[in-house]
Structure formats: structure tokens, C-alpha cells
Structure 1
Amino acid sequence: MTTLALDGADIWFEQHGSGGDVLIASASGFGAYPAILAEAPYHCTVVTVQARGFGRSTHLAEPPAAGWLDQWGEDVLAVADHLGIDTFVYTGISHGAGIGWHLARRHPERLRALISVVGTPHDRSGDTSSSAGRRRIVEERRNPAVLEEQFRILGGRTEGEERLLRRERTIAGLVRRHLDYSEEEALVNQGMPFPEATTNEELAKILETIRLPVLSLAGLRDGVISPQSALRAAMAVAHSKTVLFEDEGHFMGDERPHRVAREVRVFLDELADYESNGGTWR
């Protein structure tokens, strides 16, 4: 565990494992994914970067001038530079995936690939569950009943005794974490990726400019990222790969980390073949 002093903030990061594929992730906090990728049978090197504004990174009274997602992306690159990592696979969940989409657009030369978990850029039609839900969470940040209600909406539908028990643990943990936030942490609202796109058509045109290997993992029961959002990215990003899980929602990275990690391992093997074949999928 290390803290890197940057302009305006100290950024906390941790390295897991020492395998061949190097993955970097950033988020407000982490569950089992992506550090699980450092373990057998995945054997990757994983660097987790706590986003500025949260946890052991510096808390901020005001949003960064660059905007949250772009600033978090620059912090990821600063950690990579500090560690001597030239190119890497970026992976993230939800807002953490949003950081990756911004990196893929602004700094594609630094990424071997992007692995987005329940994090394709949001729909622009109407007031989405993400934008409305995040505002509600910020407004009612000290109200456990409202927090629980919003997390149930975001998680999406599930069923089965084991899954329902796991969902209850997930929601209880999220409520506790948010109630423990400092006031600065609780007020962070990063917004949508690519806010300059005001329509879905404008968003699709931005996605079409992304020209690196992308794996998108999406849950069709997600209360934040709609199936239409996942399909938009799948259709707009050339040669991307999308895996849709009918029975998963927004918390699949926390609730089924091995299910996510298995798909990542397959993609990393495909990526190595793509690179050895001169940038062509076989």
C-alpha cells in the first residue's frame, strides 16, 4: 500500500500479484474484483487506485477543474508512470469503468485494452436512474432508508435463496459505507461519461472514435446501465466484445467476481493472440 503525492491530492494505490498481464483499476472503493485477478487461476498483476476524493486518497471540498472522470483518469496515468508501466489493460466497475472510457478516448496509446464491467456510458434520453438516483443518494446521504431504497433500484431484480442473501449483504455493506463517508466523500457526484453528448446519437458518435480492444460485461437486470446502453457501445465500438448476463444486475462485480474474472481471463488470452497476430482477431 502506497500513497503517491500529486498536484492537489495524495493518491492511494496497492499492487496485487506479479503475473504477466498488468491491469489497473480505479474506483471510490474495491470489493473482490479486480484484485481476484492476481490469484490462481488468473495470475495477473493488478494495481488498484483509490479515486481522489475517497478513502485513503485526499478528500476534496470542490470537484477538480478537469471534472471527476478525467481527473481520475489522469491520476491512473500518474500511478502507472510512477510504477514504470507504459501500457496496461484498464478495468473498472460502474463509475470505475467510466474512468476507463475516458482514458480510451483521451489516451488510447496507454491502453492495451479496456474491460468495462457494468459501466458503458449511460443513456441520454430523459432523467436516467443513474443521474436521478445519484442525486437522491447525495441529497439523502445520511438517511439509511433512502440509501437502501436507491441501492435496491440500482442493483436490479434477483431471485433464489443464495442470491437474495448475497444481495442483502451487498446492500447492507453499501449503506454502511455511505453512512461512514466524510461529508466531502458523500457529496461527490461524478456524473455521466462524456457529458458533452446530450443525445444518444451524439454519444454513439463519440463511442465510434474508440479504436482499441474493448470487453464490456453487462447485466440485463442492471438498474443503472440499461441493456440499450450496453448494446449501443457494442454496436459503436469497432471489433469490441460484449458479454450479456440475463441473470445479473449492477452488483455482479461484487456478487459474482469469479464469473466476471473468468470472462476477463478468456479476453486476455484472446488479446495476446490479437497482438501477436499484428492487431487482427483470429
Structure 2
Amino acid sequence: MTVTLLNHRAEGPASAPPLLLGPSLGTSLALWDQVAPELSAAHRVVRWDLPGHGGSAADLIGAGATVGDLAALVLALADALGVDRFAYAGVSLGGAVGLHLAVHHPERLTSLALVCSSAHFGGAAPWRERAERVRREGLEWLAASADARWFTPGFSVPELVRDHRRADPEAYAACCDALAAFDLRDRLADITVPTLLVAGREDPATPPAHLREIADAVPGAALVELPGASHLAPAQVPRAVLAALRTHLDGPSASGLAVRREVLGDAHVDRAQARQTPFTARFQDFISRYAWGEIWTDPTLSRRERSMITLTALVAYGHYDELAMHVRAARRNGLTPEEIGAVLLQTAVYCGVPAANSAFATAQRVLAEEEAG
């Protein structure tokens, strides 16, 4: 018998640790567009659509559905992909699915992250009323107020609002039924997997107090509050969500990517990530973890000193494309053009005049571009 699975997208090396990402009600897997590609450098990222949302079939659930029904669909997807145990992160309703898994199927999870979610969603009555109106009138009236419910004033992600309008009303209403019946407050102390709570300080739907309630009850849980973020934090403040998830999933070495961005600039790292393929993903992860997460974060030398050492080494081996990148990095680390020139002059003595000659040409071009820009 053929089983209909949730629509999903998989990214990252097949051999990497699996990470499943759950969406919020009314959105699609596009909610994770600014976060999932970077997480896929170190993880096999699988993001999925709720029934009737994005590309998932509407008849996967029906009236009276529960969060447990959605969790069963996620487990069926994991089973079909050959994934036994996985890390899980979810937003709002997607986070509720994660909580259900942590309570009822802890053997399947390696860790849990809840983003702008809750152990309860304000009681059954408002959700039942919403479900009834959606079944009666459709979703346009809700989509019209999506920005106000999801983001701080003046911010929007049109693709997500479009996905809201396109969701199937019956499946959306069934998800409301699931939220109406959801309350795991009395089971939070049973959760044993490493747990991260991420709250948006401006979130009216699941305010920080909801995440704090979970953090206080789950043994060893960590709580991060994101200023300027409302309900759909991965879309509004993706860098902050990414940093929190990396630290939670990978430990302190995850700071390597942040250091890499600080030294080389967002544009360079974004280009490297955009060019990443399954073949190069492990190498990119190695660079972020080892070079930037261990060497460049070692406080024994300052970043200025590391820039000078790096310039010298690149000249010695004739890596002039890399030299151009690190001349820019040296400027970010506080070296003046005169100091860069002094470093290159010293390479003429110890690395050879021809090497220094090429290095000066490269550096002069970069500095001229920087001045013109």
C-alpha cells in the first residue's frame, strides 16, 4: 500500500546528522528559507509542510485532528527517509509537534528546539471559533491580518502571506482543532532530550512567558529571547535564530561561522554557501569548525595578529586569490594600508621579492577597490 507523505525538502549531506524542521500554522517550508541552507552545511535538513499547506495533501488530516496525528505524519516521513533518530526544531504548531514527540516518542529525538511556540495555545474556544469561521468563509480574512499576527509593524514576507492564502481551509481548520486540544503543561518535566526555547520578545501569539514556562519545567532547558522578533522569528531575524540553533545543535564550535562572517564579511560567506554542493558541504563545515571555530577564536593572538600571519603565509605559498580576500579581512580587523604594506615588505625578505611583488599588486588592487567603494 502506498503511503502519502508530507511534502518535504531535504538539504545537506545524506551522511550528516538528520534535523527535521517544522512550520507554523498558515505557512509552508519556505518559513525556513533563510535558515535551512546554512544548517545544511552540518546536517541533513528535512523541512516539511503541514497538511493542506505548501505541497502537502489536504486529506492527510480531518476535523478533530490532534497534534499527535501531525506527529505521526512526521514519524512516517522520517521512517520513509530511513531516519531513526533526529534533531527537531519547530515554530508554533511545528514546535507543538516537537513537544509531543519529546513526551511520547523520546527515543526518536536527539534534541529539541521550540521557536515561538508553547505547551498550550490559549485554550480551546478561540481555536474552535477560528476553525468554524475558516470552514464557513475560507482564509482570506485571516491572510489579510497575517503580517500583524506574524511580524512587527512594517515587516512582511510576501511569500509566506501568499502561502497562507493558498492553504486548504479544511486542513487549516483541522490544524486549529489540533491546537484547541493541545496542552502538555503537565508532562513537561518528563522531557529528557536537550531542549532549547527561542522566544520573540514582540511575539503576541506565544509571548516569552510561554517559552519561559517550558524552560522552567524541562530539566536543563535553555531559553533565548530575541529582541525585535515577533511570531515568525526564522523569517524576521534568521541570523539570530541560526546562531541559537547552531549553538544548541553543534555546541560552542558553531560560533566559527559567526567569526568567519565577522572576518571575511557576509557577502563572501553567502557566496560560499550558495556555491555549496553535497560534494563540498563537509569541507565548508570543516573550515567553519576548525579554522574559524578553533584557530581564529583562540584568544592567545588578536585578530590583527592573525591577519598579519595569514597574509605572510599566503604570500609564501603564492595563494594570491586568497590573499585578496584576506587583505579585505585585514582591513576589517583594523590594519591600516600602511601596516599591510609593512607586512608585505617583510615578506620580500623572507618569502622572496617576486612573491612580494605579486602580493603588492594584489593588495594595491584590493585597497584601490575598497577606497573607490
Normalising by structure 1, we get a TM-score of 0.74
Helix, strand or coil: the match of 2:199?
Answer: strand
Task: Within 5 Å, give how 1:229-240 maps onto structure 2.
Answer: 229-240=210-221
Amino acid at match of 1:46: V
1:21 aligned onto 2:17: yes
Helix, strand or coil: the match of 1:31?
Answer: helix
Q: Gapped runs of 5+ residues in structure 1?
A: 159-163, 198-202, 273-282
The residue number in structure 2 matching 1:279 is none
Amino acid at match of 1:190: C
The residue number in structure 2 matching 1:195 is 181
Helix, strand or coil: the match of 1:122?
Answer: coil
1:213 aligned onto 2:194: yes
Partners of 1:126 and 1:58 lie apart in 2 by 25
Helix, strand or coil: the match of 1:188?
Answer: helix
Task: Within 5 Å, give how 1:248-267 maps onto structure 2.
Answer: 248-267=229-248
1:12 aligned onto 2:10: no
Residue deviations 1:94-126, cap 9 Å, x none?
111111111111100100011111112235479
The total of aligned residue pairs comes to 249
Q: 1:142 to 1:269 in 2, by over 3 A?
A: closer
1:141 aligned onto 2:138: yes
- TM-fit CA distance, 1:237: 0.6
Residue deviations 1:133-182, cap 9 Å, x none?
676666653435x5323x24423544xxxxx3xx1x32x44443233234
- TM-fit CA distance, 1:253: 1.1
Q: Which has the higher helix share?
A: 2
- TM-fit CA distance, 1:258: 2.3
The residue number in structure 1 matching 2:334 is none
Helix, strand or coil: the match of 2:118?
Answer: coil
Helix, strand or coil: the match of 1:244?
Answer: strand
The residue number in structure 1 matching 2:264 is none
- TM-fit CA distance, 1:235: 0.4
Q: 1:78 to 1:137 in 2, by over 3 A?
A: same
Partners of 1:133 and 1:221 lie apart in 2 by 23
Greater gyration radius: 2
Partners of 1:41 and 1:47 lie apart in 2 by 9
Q: 1:122 to 1:34 in 2, by over 3 A?
A: farther
Q: 1:204 to 1:180 in 2, by over 3 A?
A: closer
Partners of 2:16 and 2:193 lie apart in 1 by 20
The residue number in structure 1 matching 2:322 is none
Q: Does structure 2 conserve the Cα–Cα contact (< 8 Å) formed by 1:121 and 1:194?
A: no
Amino acid at match of 2:108: R
Task: Within 5 Å, give how 1:39-78 maps onto structure 2.
Answer: 39=38, 42-60=41-59, 63=62, 67-78=65-76
Q: Does structure 2 conserve the Cα–Cα contact (< 8 Å) formed by 1:12 and 1:56?
A: yes
Amino acid at match of 1:12: N
Task: Within 5 Å, give how 1:78-89 maps onto structure 2.
Answer: 78-89=76-87
Q: Which has the higher strand share?
A: 1
Q: Does structure 2 conserve the Cα–Cα contact (< 8 Å) formed by 1:52 and 1:59?
A: yes
Q: Does structure 1 conserve the Cα–Cα contact (< 8 Å) formed by 2:66 and 2:179?
A: no
Normalising by structure 2, we get a TM-score of 0.58
Q: Gapped runs of 5+ residues in structure 2?
A: 254-373
Helix, strand or coil: the match of 2:58?
Answer: coil
Q: Does structure 1 conserve the Cα–Cα contact (< 8 Å) formed by 2:11 and 2:45?
A: yes
